[in-house]
Structure 1
């Protein structure tokens, strides 16, 4: 089925405060190449897909979104974030049910992307979406672990070396049928099950999730040293803050 015939929404949970960045403002609003981390992430999503819309989950104390270049974009909406990522995503899914011209259909899909992964390639996003729709199975972008993994005890002493042969590092975007993801998140929150990403909620329901290879430079900005690295990656991608498609 052609992607253009399917209702696709995107969700960007952006309610975190990013304490590990040691910055005066949340990391998603840090300046990056004449834009902000969040705005670049949004532009990558909007350029990659023919979306019905994007819902950004915001912290209740957010005072920075109003300055975003997407604050008045006709396809970008906001909702209240929650205490945890799963709450923020579920709030966004509830908003989609209200925003959609009709209740999201059986064929509606949703793409969830970290606000602080601005280096994802639009081609990888489009490739993930096409592969998942062709298979009829949700999936995520990920990379195989390259480094040796050590298991530590509470004293930070090594107690084991883990086999990395079948271990992959999960990235975003993660792409699933709307109803499947919403039901999985509601189930996990009701049962108080841990949800570290959207795929983990789907896994808790026993459903299949496929992995699709990503580039290692789709980094998540978490620590201060990540920002100059992200700037370098975007420069190599020849990213422009004034993308014509948005």
Structure 2
């Protein structure tokens, strides 16, 4: 099957879980509403995905207690759908997938992307699709580990130096077939198996996600220092676009 046939057959959707409170930021609002260059993290992230032409719709999953989203004009875009989140990340992602079940085909692709990764590059989205579009399962963006890796005991004592050649930092988006991802997250929830990302749910269900190398500036804003770094990366990316 040609790439064109694949793209015509399988549509692309996105889910952004944004129901967290970002407690490690020590801020007076959820971290997704903290600003970089006059715009919230959420706006930066949503805009970058909306600028990706393959996406049919973007599901933004918000907390039931969220009052900040009402001030975000971008969330009223006709391609954005708002869904109520759950207690944990995978609850929220599953809620987003449930919303897509009635709209999408079970073999359609779903990109799940952290709201706190506002620096995702268009080129990484293109590369992810290029590498996975004919795969039966899907995969995720990642970065090979470059530092020496150590394993320690509970006391913090080094017990082993780990071979880093096959180790990766898992990033997002993570892109999988709708039904496979929905079923994998449902299984993890029923089995009370804690999963930290979509790929780990897929692994638990017996699938083998493909790792696709992305750029290192696709950072997750978790602490206050990350906000300044994300601001720098966005500024650098804009300069590259302006001079292209």
Note if contact 2:33-2:41 (Cα within 8 Å) is conserved in structure 1.
yes
1:50 deviates by 2.2
CA distance in 2, matches of 1:139, 1:222: 23
The equivalent position to 2:54 in structure 1, one of 45, 50, 53, is 50
Which position in structure 1 is the counterpart of 2:30?
26
Paired residue total: 236
Determine if the alignment matches structure 1 residue 133 to structure 2 residue 133.
Answer: yes
Q: Which has the higher helix share?
A: 2
> Secondary structure in 1 aligned to 2:118?
coil
1:5 deviates by 4.4
Note if contact 2:137-2:180 (Cα within 8 Å) is conserved in structure 1.
no
> Secondary structure in 1 aligned to 2:44?
helix
CA distance in 2, matches of 1:107, 1:184: 14
> Secondary structure in 2 aligned to 1:142?
strand
Determine if the alignment matches structure 1 residue 153 to structure 2 residue 153.
Answer: yes
Distance 1:168 1:56, change over 3 A: same
> Secondary structure in 2 aligned to 1:48?
coil
CA RMSD of aligned residues (A): 1.6
> Secondary structure in 2 aligned to 1:25?
coil
Question: Which ranges of 4 or more aligned residues in structure 1 deviate by more than 6 Å?
Answer: none
Which position in structure 2 is the counterpart of 1:232?
232
TM-score (norm 2): 0.92
Q: Give the unaligned 5+ runs of structure 2.
A: none
Deviates more, 1:196-205 or 1:40-49: 40-49
Which position in structure 1 is the counterpart of 2:192?
192
CA distance in 2, matches of 1:239, 1:185: 39
The equivalent position to 1:90 in structure 2, one of 91, 94, 99, is 94
1:124 deviates by 0.6
Distance 1:67 1:239, change over 3 A: farther
CA distance in 1, matches of 2:25, 2:159: 30
TM-score (norm 1): 0.91
> Secondary structure in 2 aligned to 1:71?
helix
Determine if the alignment matches structure 1 residue 213 to structure 2 residue 213.
Answer: yes
1:159 deviates by 2.4
The equivalent position to 2:67 in structure 1, one of 59, 63, 66, is 63
Deviates more, 1:11-20 or 1:147-156: 147-156
1:64-86, CA deviations, whole angstroms, 9 ceiling, x for partnerless residues? 11111322110101111111111
> Secondary structure in 1 aligned to 2:134?
helix
CA distance in 1, matches of 2:51, 2:108: 19
Determine if the alignment matches structure 1 residue 73 to structure 2 residue 77.
Answer: yes
1:146 deviates by 1.0
